[in-house]
Amino acid sequence: MKNLKLSIGKELGMGLFHKKVKEIEQVEEKVDYEEEVRSICEKIDKANLQIKIIKKEYDEVNRYLQDAQIIDGLPEEPKKELLTYAKYILDLRKDISKLESKRTELTEFEFGVMERYEDIIPDEIKRLKKEEEYEQTIKSDLRKLSGEKAVLRHEEEVELSRKAFLGKLGLVAGTIIGLLLLMYLILYMIFDTFADIAFILTIIGGVVIAFYIFIETDKNSKALKLNAAKENKLINLTNTVKIKYVNQKSSLDYSHDKYAVNNVFELEYRYNQYMSYKEDEMKRRKANSTYEFYNNKYKDLLFQYKVHDAEVWSYQAGAVVDPKEMVEIRHKLNERRQKLREQLSENTETISKLGERLTEIGKKSEELGIMVNGMMEFYGFGAVPSGTRKKTRTISINTNASTSIK
């Protein structure tokens, strides 16, 4: 009896142990599948989003193809009218592009100065040209006066050198004559000999040299006085011209600062740049106004024949003018549509395979089926058990995006 009780106890203990182990294994299995199911649901969610985007683009491509068919099938008169508008649009677009490519070299500040004094600048250019020419004349006069001053300084140096020479000549001549006279006196006193001819010649030579020195000194003195008078006159004239130059330069500096230029040529260049920009701006405005007129006419005609997006076909006006360009556009649209179909098919297939995997996981146990169903409902797939959970536990996926396209 005792052995029987022990045997029953052992069997009960082992049963509880196996049950506990099984429960642990089920929990671990649920945790492992939960991560996989979450990953699958995220992929399905992304695929659904891609399908929505693809369908939207696909519908747009279809509408553009329909627009192309409408344009190609327009009646003769409206088609001619549309062609005329399209040609105007293309020509005006080129003109506007050329005008917009022209840019002024003026800075914002320089442009503002030109704009502020626009009305008076033409007269100011004439005035400044005359004043700058007069300034150059004054500068030329100052250079000439400076040259004359240099000439007078040179003449003064020459006369001063000559004066020094005459002074030295008088000193040397006087010394020689004095020595000769002394020699004659000594000869007379010692030898009682009088060199009358030599004495007379010495006296005559002394008189000639003295007369020469007197004449040249007088000339030199007059030349120095004349040079000094010329220099004083030149200084006064230079001072007068300098005053004119200072006044003229002050007036020009004020005008240059006023217009922020260095000279009249710079002012004239900036003004021409400014006027050229204004002329181009007027052309741009006129071209834009004409462009808007014909562009509106063009779009109104397209709207009249139920074209989906007239604005896009305004930018594709070249396709209306050139049939080859229209064929190229339709070819690209068809290619794009085919790629969208392929992408839609790929995403649909991805969702199908992922759904099969979810069904496979849900069939493994009732708890996994509940977990899969709950996860799908969380991601908004509208998942519901198909039939009773206990019998098949199969999962059906109700995606938010329809996968059928025409």
The proportion of the chain whose per-residue pLDDT surpasses 90, expressed as a percent, equals 16
* Closest to 369 (Cα-Cα) out of 396, 401, 340, 332: 396
Give yes or no for a contact between 248 and 131, defined as CB atoms under 8 angstroms apart: yes
Q: For residues 176 and 161, give the distance between their C-alpha atoms in angstroms, rounded to a whole number.
A: 22
Output the pLDDT for position 8.
45
> Using 50, 70 and 90 to split pLDDT, how confident is the model at 152?
confident
Residue ranges in 102-192 assigned as alpha helix (H)? 108-116, 121-191
DSSP annotation of 105 reads: -
Task: Give the angle subtended at the CA of 235 by the CAs of 231 and 236, to the nearest 5°.
Answer: 120
Helix (H) or strand (E) holding 238: helix 196-259
Token match 């683009």: residue?
Answer: 57
The average pLDDT across 161-176 equals: 87
Given a cut of 80, is residue 266 above it in pLDDT?
A: yes
* pLDDT score of 62 more than 80: yes
pLDDT of residue 281: 86
pLDDT of residue 357: 87
Q: What's the pLDDT band for 392 if we cut at 50, 70, 90?
A: very low
Give yes or no for residue 153 having a pLDDT over 70.
yes
pLDDT computed for residue 406 by the predictor: 57
Average pLDDT over residues 156-182: 86
Helix %, strand %, coil % for the chain, to 5?
85, 0, 15
Backbone angles phi, psi at 362, to 5 degrees: -65, -25
Q: How far apart are CA 301 and CA 111, in angstroms?
A: 43
Kindly state the average pLDDT of the residues 335-343: 91
Are the beta carbons of 104 and 111 closer than 8 angstroms?
yes
Q: Looking at residue 392, what DSSP letter applies?
A: T
Q: How many angstroms from the chain centroid is the CA of residue 29?
A: 65
**pLDDT above 70 (res 130):** yes
CA separation (Å) from 238 to 185, 234, 244? 61, 6, 10
pLDDT value at residue 2: 45
**Residues near 378 by beta carbon (within 8 Å), at least 6 away in sequence:** 41
Tokens 């009358």 correspond to 196
Rounded to whole angstroms, the Cα distance separating 36 from 31 reads 9
Please state, rounded to an integer, the average pLDDT across all residues of the chain.
82
Q: Residue 150: phi, psi to the nearest 5?
A: -65, -40
Cα angle value 151/145/140 (rounded, 5°):
130
As a whole number, mean pLDDT of residues 173-186 equals 84
Taking residues 341-349, what's their average pLDDT?
91
3-state secondary structure of 263: coil
**Overall average pLDDT of the 109-124 stretch:** 90
DSSP readout, 276-297?
A: HHHHHHHHHHHHHHHHHHHHHH
pLDDT at position 18 over 50: no
The confidence band for 159, taking pLDDT boundaries of 50, 70 and 90, is confident
Residue 42 pLDDT > 90: no
Distances (CA, A) of 339 to 55, 62, 333, 344: 12, 13, 10, 9
How deeply is 393 buried, as exposed, middle or buried, from its count of CB atoms within 10 A (0-12, 13-18, 19+)? buried
pTM for this entry? 0.56
Percentage above 70 pLDDT, the chain? 85
Specify the residue for token string 């969702």: 351
* pLDDT (mean) for 171-179: 87
Task: Report, in angstroms and rounded to the nearest whole number, the Rg of the chain calculated over CA atoms.
Answer: 58
How many Å from the N-terminal Cα to the C-terminal Cα in the chain? 82
Q: Is the pLDDT of residue 123 over 90?
A: yes
pLDDT tens for 271-318 read 998 898 888 889 889 989 999 999 999 899 888 888 888 888 888 888
- Res 249: pLDDT: 87
Comparing CA positions, the residue from 405, 406, 404, 399 lying closest to residue 48 is 399
CA proximity to 71, closest of 294, 304, 252: 304
Grouping H, G, I as helix, E, B as strand and the rest as coil, residue 396 is: strand
Condensed to tens digits (0 to 9), the pLDDT of residues 188-242 reads 788 777 777 877 888 888 888 888 888 888 888 888 888 888 889 888 988 888 8
Token representation of residue 177: 């004559």
pLDDT for 87 beyond 50: yes
Distance CA 238, CA 12 (A): 136
pLDDT for position 293: 93
Query: Which residues, including other chains, have CB under 8 Å from residue 202's CB and lie 6 or more apart?
Result: 177, 180, 181, 184
